[in-house]
Amino acid sequence: MLILLVIVILLTVYFNTHDNTYAPGCGTSPRVDYYTKLLNDSSEESFNRVYTGDRAEIGDWPWLVRISVTFRNDSLSLCTGAIVGNTWILTAAHCLHSGDIKYTSISYDSVEINPITNRIAYASKYFVHPNYTTPHKSDDIALIQLQSTIRFSDSVHALCLGRNIQPVAYETTFAVGYGREFRGHRRMDPVNYAREAMMDTFLGEECKKNEKIVCTFGYNQGTTKGDSGGSLMVIRDNRFYSIGVVSMGSQNSITNVMSEVRSFYTRTSAYCDWISETTAQQVKCDDKTFDINYLLL
C-alpha cells in the first residue's frame, strides 16, 4: 500500500512539473479536416463560407485564450493568445506594455466570454521581448507564465511551434480571436465570442525587407482590435502551427463590402530560441521539415 502511494505521488509530481507541449495532440483540431476540404472545394457555397467567416465553435481551437490585463491605473487591455505549454501563453508584447500590471486573467477551454462558465487561469510572470519598441511594434511578442498548470485534454492543448514554418506567397492562413466584428461602413463592434477567418499571405516590400514579420490580406477578413496576440496559423501534416502573432491589424480600412484588409504579424519561427530560453526549455519549436511543393503550384 505504501509503495502504491509513493507511485501515485511521484506520478502527480511528474505531470505537474513536466510540460507536455508536444505530447500527441499539439495543433490537432476538427478544423483541420474542415478547412482542408474547404480549400479543395471551388463551389460558390464554399467561397461564401470563406468570405463571410465563421463563429468559432467549442473544441475547434483548443489553444485559444482570451487575455484580460488590468493595470494599476485601472485601464484594461483585452487580447487573444495561444497556449504553447501547460504553464505558458504566447501573445503580443503590446498587450502587456501599457503600464504596471495589477493582475491578468486568462480564459480558456471556451469560445465565448462568460464569467460564470469560463475556465480561468492567472498570470504569475510576464516576459516581453527585450527588443520590443513602440510605436513600430518591432519584436512584438511576449510570453505569460501561469500560476498553475493547465491540464491538457482533447479540448485543451498546445498549438504547435516550428523552426521551419515559413510564409509562402498566397498561402491560405487562419486566425481566430476575440476581435471586433465588421458591421458596416467603418463600424467595428465588440463581440462576446471568438470568430475565425482565412487570409492569404503576401510578400510585399515591407515583408521582404523584414524577415521577422508575416503579412496577410483578405476581403473583409483580417485581424482587428481584440485579436492582438492571437496566432496566425498554417496547416502542416494535418496539424495547426503558429506562423505569426497578431501585431497590427487594419481595423480602419474596411469601408465597403469588398474592402481588402491587410494585417501584420510577428513571425513566430524567428523567436524560437528566445521562446526556448525564456521558458527554460519547457516550450520548444520542433525541427520538422515539410513538403510544401504543392503550395507553390
Fold: same for 31-40+50-59+159-269 and 64-146? yes
The Cα–Cα gap between 150 and 119 comes to: 10
- Cell matching residue 5: 502511494
Prediction pTM value: 0.83
The Cα–Cα gap between 5 and 77 comes to: 45
The residue type at 284 = K
User: 246: closest CA among 163, 168, 164, 177?
Assistant: 177
Q: Is 73 exposed, middle or buried (0-12, 13-18, 19+ CB in 10 A)?
A: exposed
- CA distances from residue 66 to 69, 86, 176, 233 in whole angstroms, order as listed: 10, 16, 11, 17
Residue 41 confidence (pLDDT): 67
Residue 282 confidence (pLDDT): 96
Q: Which residues contact 95 (CB under 8 A, 6 or more apart)?
A: 67, 69, 77, 79, 81, 142, 228, 229
Q: What residue spans define the domains of the chain?
A: 31-40+50-59+159-269, 64-146
Residue 73 confidence (pLDDT): 87
Around Cβ 225, how many Cβ atoms within 10 Å?
15
Map grid coordinates 524560437 to a residue: 272
- Cell matching residue 199: 487570409
The Cα–Cα gap between 110 and 65 comes to: 8
CATH topology of domain 31-40+50-59+159-269: Thrombin, subunit H (2.40.10)
- Cell matching residue 285: 519549436
The Cα–Cα gap between 231 and 238 comes to: 17
Residue 122 confidence (pLDDT): 96
Around Cβ 276, how many Cβ atoms within 10 Å?
15
Residue-by-residue DSSP string for 48-85: HHHHH-EE--TTS-TTEEEEEEEETTS-EEEEEEEEEE
Give 133's strand partners. 138
Strands 76-85 and 64-71: antiparallel
In this structure, the dihedral spanned by the alpha carbons of residues 148, 154, 157 and 161, taken in order and rounded to 10 degrees, is 160
- Tens digits of pLDDT across the chain (297 residues): 555 444 434 444 444 444 444 444 799 998 898 888 877 765 554 444 443 457 888 889 999 999 999 998 888 888 999 999 999 999 999 999 877 899 999 999 988 888 777 899 999 999 999 999 876 678 999 999 999 999 999 999 999 999 999 888 888 899 888 876 655 544 455 567 888 888 888 877 777 778 888 988 766 566 667 688 999 999 999 999 999 998 876 544 444 445 566 778 999 999 999 999 999 999 999 999 887 765 544
CATH topology of domain 64-146: Thrombin, subunit H (2.40.10)
Residue 195 confidence (pLDDT): 84
